[in-house]
A and B are shown apart, each in its own frame.
Chain A
Amino acid sequence: QVQLVESGGGVVQPGRSLRLSCAASRFTFSSYGMHWVRQAPGKGLEWVAVIWYDGTKKYYADSVKGRFTISRDNSKKTLYLQMNSLRAEDTALYYCARDPGLAAAGDAFDIWGRGTMVTVSS
């Protein structure tokens, strides 16, 4: 079964850094764009970043631009999110999600991990 498994979350002080990972299995990881989407406790969904299938293009939400970096290692079938200068408002459950690559759908999310929780607190 197609699967995404996030890891790397935890409790971190404001201003510090954290790196999230997302391990993919049972699909051709290198053929798909990948996203990070987050959800603050009790709140809705917020798109964070996308990386193209080959890593050549990356885009970010304004709220994280300049602080977060998305990357991937297709040989390891793993997606990353480097988060620097963390703020309290970055506290959320971070999901990685696969883009199905359907032209009609634009950026969509068809496979999701279970998420990894990031808490930014002093």
Chain B
Amino acid sequence: DIQMTQSPSSLSASVGDRVTITCRASQSISRYLNWYQQTPGKAPKLLIYAASSLQSGVPSRFSGSRSGTDFTLTISGLQPEDFATYYCQQSYSTPTFGQGTKLEIK
């Protein structure tokens, strides 16, 4: 299976900050990388697919990018509702998720 390694595992930030979460694949996955947001007690929500395409209805402060096997989720101008856990997921082969990044309020 392809391993997905997210960093950091946790992150503290303030409303209005710009934050970046990274996900590294253990092998080439082209652009087959999706990002999800999960708030406590809720199901995950698809934010970004194909590395950089914004899912319908997702605010434009969320963006994604790729450099080789490294993928980045950026949130520009954190809002209170953005404090959550974020997961990357590769869809190049049998789906696997990163271990998650918990974004907390500083």
Contact = CB atoms under 8 A, between A and B. Distances in A.
A113 interface: yes
Interface stretch (B10-18, B20-28, B46-54, B68-76): B46-54
Nearest to A6: B43
Contacts of B98: 44
A45 B43 contact: no
A100 B49 CA distance: 10
Name which of B32, B53, B95 has the most chain A CB atoms within 10 A of its CB. B95
Interface in A49-88: 50, 59, 61-62
B97 A95 contact: no
A95 B43 contact: yes
A79 to B, nearest CB: 15
Interface of A: 35, 44-47, 50, 59, 61-62, 95, 100, 102, 104-110, 112-115
B43 A107 contact: no
Interface of A is mostly: loop
Given A44-B87, A45-B89, A47-B95, A104 B50 contact: yes
A24 B60 CA distance: 29
B7 interface: no
Contacts of B44: 45, 95, 109, 112
Name which of A45, A50, A62, A114 has the most chain B CB atoms within 10 A of its CB. A45
7 contacts: A45-B36, A45-B97, A108-B49, A109-B34, A109-B46, A112-B45, A113-B43
